[in-house]
Each structure stands twice: as C-alpha cells, then as structure tokens.
Amino acid sequence: MRVIVTGGAGFIGSHVAELCLSRGHEVVVIDNLRTGKVENVPEGARFVEGDIRDLETVKRLFGEVKPDWVFHQAAQAALRPSVIDPWEDMSINLLGSLNLIHTAVDRSVAKFVYASSGGASYGPFAPVPTSEEFPVQPNSPYGITKHSVEHYLDFYERNFGMAWMALRYANVYGPRQDSEGEAGVVAIFSRCVLAGQQPTIFGDGSQKRDYVYAKDIAMANLLSAEGSYSGVLNVSTGIETSVLEVLAAIQEAAGTTIEPVFGEERVGDIPRCALSSDLAAEKIGWRATVPFREGIAKTVAWTKEHYGL
C-alpha cells in the first residue's frame, strides 16, 4: 500500500510511519517541522516538508503519491495555546484537515484514518469510562476543532463514499514525545526528574487520565486502515491514573525522589478521563497491550539516552 502520514516527523505520526514500514508499505511523511523533527522520520520513509494548510501543496503531494491510505496525525495538540489563539488552532486542526479530506476524496483514497481526541471531546461531565455513545461536550477550542473534523468525515462518507476512521485517543505517551510543550506530562516529568529538576503539577495532582502507549496507538491506526469499519472509536486503556501516580511511576523508573512544584489549575482541564475501548475491540480487534509501568520504564529509558541524562 502507498501511505501518507501527516505529522510523521512528530511523536505519534513517527510511530505510525514506522509500523507501516515494518509491514512493507510505501510511506511518505509530510510535516512542517513546527514541532516535529526530521530525526523522528523512520529510515525508509520519504520525507516532504510542507504545511497541510497549503492546499496546493496537499494536492501536489496526493497527485505524486496516489495514496491508498492516509493517516492524519498532524495537529495543534495543546490545550492552552488553543485558548490563547483559537484562530491558529482552527487553521491547523480544521482548515488543514479539510484540505486533506477533500483531496483524499478527489484522489479516491481507500481509507482516511484521523487522529481525534477523547478527553478533549467528551468534556468534564462524562461518565468514567466513557463510551462513544456519550454526547460530545468539548471543553476547549482544541476539543472543538478536533471533534468538528469528525463531522466533515461523516459528510464525505455519506455524500461521496469515502471510508474513514476517527480514533479518539486517550492520553498518549512514549518515546519521541516532545518534552518542551505542554501536551505530554510523561515526557515533561521524565526529562525534569532525570535532569534533577522539580516538575510542575498544575492543580493538586489528583486529576486522572487514561494513559495509552504510542506503539499501541500505532497499531490501532494500522488495524483501522486494514479493516472495513468506518466511524468513531475510542483508543484507550479504560484505566484511570492520577498525575501524582504518573510522577511516582516515573520517579521509580528513574531512581529519583524529587518533590514537585504545584501551580494553578489550567483553564479547560477536566478532573477525570478514561475511555472504554470495547467498541475498538469489537470492530477492529484492538486492545492496549503495553502495561503502564512497562511503558513508563521504556519512556524513561529512551529519554535518558536521547537527552544524555
């Protein structure tokens, strides 16, 4: 299969590209390197530097590659920047996605797999664990734009027959996650404690999230492309882990005992989030396979080696 991975120089996208290559697929990565790094692009993938907001770039790329599958991972993926600058968030997450979807329809792409969001979509009042049936109530501009793309995908399927999948990710962690941003608490905490610095916890640390390892996420993407199902699926473990528990696991793996600093709770944050992945198990045969502490140990080990800590 010929595959395009948007954001393939980034955290999750690079894992998707790597898995596709291991299965013998021809992979082309497009990334504007705003947060991605060329070093993340796996060997064997063709790299194209470009912005998905540029429709002519997207059309030219699809015309050259003639992809069978598109894995759309590129995004503005942080909560606070979406509150501060919702226009920028919208231009990347909504306009960029629409450019890709419309072009995919024109080029008769067989499957369009989209990285949606679980925690940012369901909002603060969702039952735990949350199923796909619960009404979406985004609590941030980021959540609004990520969810809105699902409606475009549904429209293009109903009117033009495009097969698609929107994977509502829980909190993804693992090697290659950016420790400089705000979206990856595992990456941020790992680098902090390994460097002997105090990590900052926003709020009291009791906030609970559903943490799923990046390689499990990549497998969900591949199974989505290979399968015949179109629609929305949660990709998650269904297990709640507090921020304090995350830090404790990282400290155990790193062999450190550094006290955190506590800051103000962030606007748009929610107290609890865990998603049910029962539908993913039924429709594409996917379940998370990497236990949390094992994934944390692998992430800390990668962080230590990558940053020389």
pTM for the predicted model, two decimal places: 0.95
Superfamily of domain 185-207+240-273+297-307: UDP-galactose 4-epimerase, domain 1 (3.90.25.10)
- Where are the domain boundaries for CATH 3.90.25.10 in the chain? 185-207+240-273+297-307
69-72 and 111-117 beta bridge pairing: parallel
Check: CB of residue 88 under 8 Å from CB of residue 81.
yes
Cβ distance 197 to 250 under 8 Å? no
pLDDT above 90 coverage of the chain, percent: 88
122, 142, 156, 173: the active-site residue: 142
List CB contacts of 233: < 8 A, sequence separation 6 or more.
132, 165, 166, 167, 168, 220, 224, 277, 279, 280, 283, 284, 286
Which of the four pLDDT bands, split at 50, 70 and 90, describes residue 194?
very high
Give the pLDDT score at 179. Answer: 83
Q: What is the CATH number of domain 2-173+212-237+274-289?
A: 3.40.50.720
Contact 67, 101 (CB under 8 A): no
**Which residues in the chain are classed under CATH 3.40.50.720?**
2-173+212-237+274-289
pLDDT bucket at 309, cuts 50 / 70 / 90: confident
**Whether residue 152 lies in the annotated active site:** no
Q: What does the mean pLDDT of the chain come to?
A: 95
Model confidence band, residue 182 (pLDDT cutoffs 50, 70, 90): low
Query: What gap in Å lies between CA 116 and CA 288, rounded to an integer?
Result: 17
Given a cut of 90, whether residue 156 has pLDDT beyond it is yes
* Residue 62 to residue 4: CA distance in whole angstroms: 8
User: CA 117 to CA 127: how far, in whole Å?
Assistant: 16
